């Protein structure tokens, strides 16, 4: 899926754009805002926060995920991410992996100069998941399925065939 956003998704993207003004980016000048939405429908905000020690910085998407968790949510429906200045911006690999912990949300971002909607699974086809992944696993859920994402199969291809209704091998 790579489609144009509907009105609600476009509004989430615009909300992310407005957040870029709050980013702390004295080193790169690349301001990013993110909005994540869980099952409650509540928007949780984040911005990137840089640090002189570069690895200590925080991406907007993971900051927004932290806000989602603070409010007691454990599932993701949408992630809107935007850079200032009308630049293209997709979540980095670390953020994609962090999002995979909470499901397979629709990701709204500017790609190739256009705002588009895709899924996390399209951006990260084989996330690392464990039986203990949060992913909002409800009581009785198959522990090897995290938020609808299946563990990457390692081994013989015959052992890896599943359907959407099957448990992973």
Instruction: Please confirm, yes or no, whether 73 is among the known catalytic residues.
Output: no
Place of tokens 């926060």: 49
Strands 32-37 and 78-83: antiparallel
Query: Per this entry, what is the length of the chain?
Result: 169
Nearest to 9 by CA among 61, 80, 71, 77: 80
Task: Quote the CA–CA distance of 127 and 91 in Å, as a whole number.
Answer: 14
How far is the C-alpha of 46 from the C-alpha of 64, rounded, in Å? 4
3-class secondary structure, 108? strand
Per-position DSSP letters for 139-159, written without gaps between them: TT--TTEETTEEPPP-S-GGG
Catalytic-labelled residue, pool 9, 61, 73, 151: 61
Residues noted as catalytic = 61
């Amino acid at each position: 899926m790579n489609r144009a956003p509907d009105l609600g998704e476009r509004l989430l993207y615009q909300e992310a754009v407005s957040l870029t003004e709050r980013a702390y980016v004295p080193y790169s000048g690349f301001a990013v805002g993110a909005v994540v939405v869980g099952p409650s429908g509540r928007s949780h905000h984040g911005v990137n926060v840089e640090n002189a020690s570069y690895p200590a910085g925080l991406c907007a998407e993971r900051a927004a995920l932290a806000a989602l968790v603070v409010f007691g949510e454990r599932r993701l429906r949408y992630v809107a991410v935007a850079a200032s200045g009308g630049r293209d911006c997709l979540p980095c690999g670390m953020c994609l992996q962090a999002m995979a912990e909470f499901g397979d949300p629709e990701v709204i971002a500017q790609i190739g100069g256009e705002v588009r909607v895709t899924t996390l699974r399209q951006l990260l086809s084989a996330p690392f998941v464990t039986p203990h992944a949060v992913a909002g696993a409800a009581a009785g859920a198959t522990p090897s399925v995290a938020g609808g994402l299946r563990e990457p199969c390692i081994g013989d291809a015959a052992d890896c065939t599943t359907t959407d209704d099957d448990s992973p091998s």
